[in-house]
Amino acid sequence: MTKAHAIIVAGGQGRRAGGEQPKQYQVLAGRPVLAWSASTFQAHPAIDQLVIVVPAGNERDVSALAGDGARIVAGGATRTASVMAGLSALEGEAQDIVLIHDAARPGLASDTIDQLLDALGGADAAAPALPVADALKRDRDGRLETVDRAALYRVQT
C-alpha cells in the first residue's frame, strides 16, 4: 500500500535572516520556525512518517521542539546530502510518496499537502508554484525591458 512521508530539511545556516541562530530555530509567533512545519505534517492524516534532517550534533535539541513522532537525523554537508540522509531514514517502500520541505518556510498549510498529494496521483513529481506578481525586467544592451510574466511561476521549496 502506498504511503506518504515527509522530510523537513533543517540544516541551513540561515545567515541572511540575521540573528544569533539559523532562521529555522528563531521564534515566530511564539514558536520556532521549524516547529510550525513539523506540527503541520504531524497533524496531517495522510503523513505516515516525519523525518527532520539537522546538522550533526543538533539532534537532541531539535527533538525537543519537533514533538513526538518525528525522527531526527544528522544531515550532510550539502542540501542534497541531507535529503539523501532523510530518505535513508525512512522506513517505506519504493512506491511511497515523499514530500520534501525546507524548514525555513513556516507557512505550510494542510491544503497545500492535499494539493501536492493529489498532483502526485498522476505525476512522478510536483511542487507548489505561485504566479509571478512582481514586475520583471531584462537588460537589453543597457536598457531595461519588461518581461512578460503571464507564463512564469515561483516554485516553492
Q: What are the backbone dihedrals phi and psi of residue 53, each rounded to the nearest 5 degrees, phi first?
A: -105, 125
Which residues neighbour 61 within 8 Å (Cβ) at sequence distance 6 or greater? none
CA separation for the pair 9, 58 (Å, rounded) = 13
Give per-residue pLDDT as tens, 116-136. 999 999 899 999 999 999 999
| Top-confidence residue, 109 or 58 | 109
pTM, rounded to two decimals: 0.84
